[in-house]
């Protein structure tokens, strides 16, 4: 039977690509987001890919709406097998220029939205003693950068929540699995509709990856029972570089992090649509404006996902060499 999957933030960006990836594998996918046009587009994507889809307009910052969406999913499709917490919003601005309500809203969606999603998923998975929850994290869950204090704070909080809950699941001997996928900079529409107070239009810090790279990693993590999955070389060196020399990362980002997150010579339009408090009408799709600069694949992610097979190949190769050497001695 096809697996049942819930994807939050499914109307655009990474969530849109994740929903389509599960659809490509024949899943029945519940799509949670605020934008009706985006949800309709995501539903078409999933169905065209070969899956089934259910569009559920939901503000993940509201736990009652998340719980209602979970109930509707199981009434339509049956027990949830995989729940993907991906929804996010952010504010691109120096912290001193972020209003309390703005910071709160970004935190409620990006962090608490994942908490409420996890709570609704566990309510159903724990009694069955099965299921997988995927938390979509970021390199910024380990290393905060300028202009993104709300988002970085939320992803750091999500990592702490993830670690705490994994301890509890292990203590209970539960077979419910939870994993976290840490992503690099991605070519998504968020840069067109996030709240920004910067001189120029915001952009992801290169190197940039397409959202399908993230989607394939999320799908793999949902079935691999790995604790964490790092995607992209920049994610690896950001995480490990910060562990080894946080003082260097801080100085480097203080010097380069502001300009690297803005498109040169493109002043920010003060009248651009913003989705922080209300959804932006229309179907934004999965991709942003940076297709020409974005990578379609990640060799690092592929190697991480196939390291078992690579290890077996290496061991077989080593065994063949040893066998050959022994045969020469006979």
Q: Which residues are catalytic?
A: 151
Q: What is the C-alpha to C-alpha distance for residues 204 and 18, in angstroms, rounded to an integer?
A: 19
Q: What is the C-alpha to C-alpha distance for residues 142 and 155, in angstroms, rounded to an integer?
A: 8
Contact (Cβ atoms closer than 8 angstroms) between residue 179 and residue 223: no
Token pair belonging to 327? 């045969």
Beta-bridged to residue 181, according to DSSP, are 136, 229
Cα–Cα distance list, 269 to 166, 228, 279, 303 (Å)? 43, 38, 18, 41
Number of H helices, E strands in the chain: 12, 13
Indicate the SS3 state at residue 271.
Answer: coil
Beta-bridged to residue 209, according to DSSP, are 186, 295
> Computed from CA positions of residues 248, 251, 255, 258, in that sequence, does the dihedral angle turn out positive or negative?
positive
Token pair belonging to 114? 């994942």
Radius of gyration of the chain (CA): 21
Dihedral of CA atoms 268, 269, 271, 274 in degrees, nearest 10, equals -50
* Sheet of strand 52-57: strand arrangement: 52-57, 28-33, 4-8, 82-85, 132-138, 177-183, 228-230
């Amino acid at each position: 039977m096809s697996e049942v999957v819930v994807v939050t933030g499914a109307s655009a960006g990474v969530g849109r690509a994740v929903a389509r990836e599960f659809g490509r594998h024949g899943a029945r996918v519940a799509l949670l987001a605020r934008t009706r046009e985006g949800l309709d587009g995501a539903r078409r994507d999933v169905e065209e890919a070969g899956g089934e889809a259910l569009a559920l307009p939901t503000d993940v910052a509201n736990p009652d709406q998340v719980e209602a969406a979970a109930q509707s999913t199981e009434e339509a499709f049956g027990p949830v097998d995989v729940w993907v917490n991906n929804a996010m919003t952010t504010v691109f601005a120096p912290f001193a220029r972020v209003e309390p309500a703005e910071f709160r809203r970004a935190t409620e969606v990006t962090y608490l939205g994942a908490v409420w999603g996890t709570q609704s998923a566990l309510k159903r998975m724990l009694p069955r003693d099965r299921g997988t929850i995927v938390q979509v994290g970021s390199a910024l869950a380990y290393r905060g950068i300028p202009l993104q204090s709300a988002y970085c704070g939320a992803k750091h909080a999500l990592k702490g929540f993830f670690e705490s809950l994994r301890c509890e699941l292990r203590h209970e001997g539960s077979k419910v699995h939870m994993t976290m996928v840490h992503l690099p900079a991605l070519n998504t529409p968020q840069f067109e509709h996030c709240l920004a107070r910067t001189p120029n239009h915001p952009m992801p810090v290169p190197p940039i990856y397409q959202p399908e790279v993230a989607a394939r990693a999320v799908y793999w993590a949902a079935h691999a029972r790995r604790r964490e999955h790092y995607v992209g070389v920049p994610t690896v060196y950001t995480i490990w570089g910060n562990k080894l020399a946080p003082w260097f990362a801080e100085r480097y980002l203080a010097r380069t992090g502001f300009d690297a997150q803005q498109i040169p010579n493109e002043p920010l339009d003060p009248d651009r649509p913003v989705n922080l408090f209300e959804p932006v009408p229309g179907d934004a799709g999965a991709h942003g404006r940076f297709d020409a600069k974005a990578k379609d694949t990640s060799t690092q992610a592929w190697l991480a996902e196939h390291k078992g097979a690579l290890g077996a190949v290496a061991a077989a190769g080593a065994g063949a060499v040893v066998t050959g050497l022994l045969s020469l001695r006979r």
